Structures are given as structure tokens and as C-alpha cells.
Amino acid sequence: MNDVLTESRPIRLKGRSFLALALTPELPLEDWLTRLDHLASRSAGFFLRRPVVLDVDGLDIDRSQLRELVDQLGKRNVRIMGIEGARQSLLGADLPPAMNDGRPAADYEAKMAEQAEKAEAPEAEATAAAAAVITAEPLATKATPSLVVTQPVRSGQSLFFPEGDVTIIGSVASGAEVVAGGSIHIYGALRGRAMAGTTGNASARIFCRKLEAELIAIDGFYKTADDMEQNLRGKSVQIWLDGEALKAGALG
């Protein structure tokens, strides 16, 4: 009887899938860090509370350089949760763990989306402690999935939909962000950040009724507010990727 009462309970283990940002540094690392500083300075809070994976696949660096790179990122408040593509000889107890088989988010996020009961994103108030994350069910599963959000995306909120296109019937506030695997359509002002084509879709586009964005990006290529064509600020525009350059043009 005592053996039954004192028997330890098993540890419960659960699987989880999380959407992380992958950073792919380039040589020389000093120049790459300078460009990273440029991005962070012109889009405040871009790396705040964001899980980051460091992808060093094909990067010709030694262990001391990798250690210095992780340290430099840490000084910039970019916390690396894992390293992908590194040789085993580069890693150690003093570095983040190795991560393998990273896949576009659409491969695993779709299972979570199937559990949602509504296609409409929930409303949440932003706080200084944590940003709200909006999830929703795709409107179609056989064709390219799409998401329609009938509420504004408020400051501090993040809307992630790596499965396909996102349409927002409203505005995206400053300090908010929309991340989509496909195109982004905003029937209001875009004052925050919009990142389209995040799963490698270079043909994705961004459309908005009024361009006042902090940052726009397609397939990893980005522009901050200071880089955008000033004559298009406040106007209805579309943004697309031409090679490695973001282009923008007025609508209507």
C-alpha cells in the first residue's frame, strides 16, 4: 500500500510548435551587424519578445567567431534560441543548442489553425508586459488558404498567418505587425509592420489603402519608413518584389 502511495508520478511531456524568426548572417559579420543595427534603429521593438534561430548553414566561420556573433546579438537584445546548420565542432555548452530540419511555418501551423472555431481574429488589448497574438482558421483548405480579419490590428498585437493571404478590413496600428505566407491586403491605414511571403513566396504583394508603415517586407527583403518613397506616404499603394528590390506604386 505504501509503495502505491509513494510512487512518483511520471513527468508529462508535450510537443509544441512555435513560429520563430530565422537570421541568416553574411560575411563580413561586421557589415551584417551594422545592417542589423540599421533595421533595429528604424523599427523599434522589431526583435522584442521574438524567438530567433541563427542559421549559419554554409557560413565559413570558426567557433570563436560564432561565439562572438552570438554575444554581439545578445548585446542587441536578440536572444538566440538555437543554431541551425552548424557543424558539431562549432557547438558547445556555452552556445545555444543545435536545431535541425527547420521548415516553413505552413508545414506545422496548419494543424493549429484547424482547431480554431472562427475565421475572425479575437480582439485583445496590448500591454507593456506581452503582445497579443491573433490566430484564426483558414477560409479554404483545398485552395490557397486565406484569412479575413474584420477588426483593426491594435498596437502591440501580432497577426501570424503563414498558410496564405491575409485581408484586414480595417487598419494596422503603429506598433502592430502582420506576418503572412502570402499577400497582405489592408483596407485601411498601414501604420505598423507588414511582412508578406514569409515562407519563400517572392510573388506575394502588400496592398493598403493608406501607406504610413514602419516597415514592409516581402520574402525577407524589407524597407523601413525612411527608405520608402515619400511621395507615396499617405496614399493607396501596392508593394511587390522585383529581384531583390522592393517596388511600390500608387493604386487608382
pLDDT digits (tens, 9 = 90+) for 21-64: 788 899 999 999 998 888 777 666 677 667 788 999 888 999 89
Given a cut of 70, whether residue 120 has pLDDT beyond it is no
What is the phi/psi pair of residue 211, to 5°?
A: -90, 110
DSSP states along 111-174? HHHTT-S-SSPPP----SS---EE----S-SSS--EEEE-S-B-TT-EEEETTSEEEESS-B-T
- Sort 14 into a burial class: Cβ within 10 Å, 0-12 / 13-18 / 19+: exposed
Among 6-10, 124-128, 176-180, the range scoring the smallest mean pLDDT is 124-128
Segment 160-181 shows an average pLDDT of 90
Cα separations in angstroms, 59 against 24, 74, 102: 9, 20, 17
Report the share of the chain in percent with pLDDT over 70.
72
Segment 167-194 shows an average pLDDT of 93
DSSP states along 81-101? EEEES--GGG--TTSPPEE--
- Cβ distance 188 to 171 under 8 Å? yes
* CATH 3.30.70-classified regions of the chain: 21-99
The helix (H) or strand (E) run that includes residue 211 is strand 206-211
Q: State whether the Cα torsion 144-208-116-155 is positive or negative.
A: positive
- Cβ distance 27 to 60 under 8 Å? yes
Beta-carbon count within 10 A of 48 CB:
10
Q: Could you name the CATH architecture of 106-250?
A: 3 Solenoid (2.160)
**Right CATH for 21-99 from 2.20.28, 3.30.70, 2.60.40, 2.60.120:** 3.30.70
| Structure letter (DSSP) for residue 64 | H
* CATH 2.160.20.70-classified regions of the chain: 106-250
Which residues neighbour 93 within 8 Å (Cβ) at sequence distance 6 or greater? none
More confidently predicted of 181 and 145: 181
More confidently predicted of 246 and 88: 246
- Could you tell me the pLDDT band of residue 119, with boundaries at 50, 70 and 90? very low
Q: Please report the pLDDT score of residue 47 as a whole number.
A: 72
- Could you tell me the pLDDT band of residue 137, with boundaries at 50, 70 and 90? very low
Given a cut of 50, whether residue 237 has pLDDT beyond it is yes
Using a cut of 0.75, tell me whether the model's pTM lies above it: no
What is the phi/psi pair of residue 168, to 5°?
A: -115, 120
pLDDT (tens digit, 9 = 90+) per residue, 124-135?
333 333 334 444
- Cβ distance 217 to 194 under 8 Å? yes
Cα separations in angstroms, 211 against 82, 150, 176, 177: 35, 19, 14, 14
Among 74-83, 104-113, 168-177, the range scoring the smallest mean pLDDT is 104-113
- Could you tell me the pLDDT band of residue 15, with boundaries at 50, 70 and 90? low
- Cβ distance 252 to 236 under 8 Å? yes
Rounded distance, CA 156 to CA 124, Å? 9
Given a cut of 90, whether residue 226 has pLDDT beyond it is no
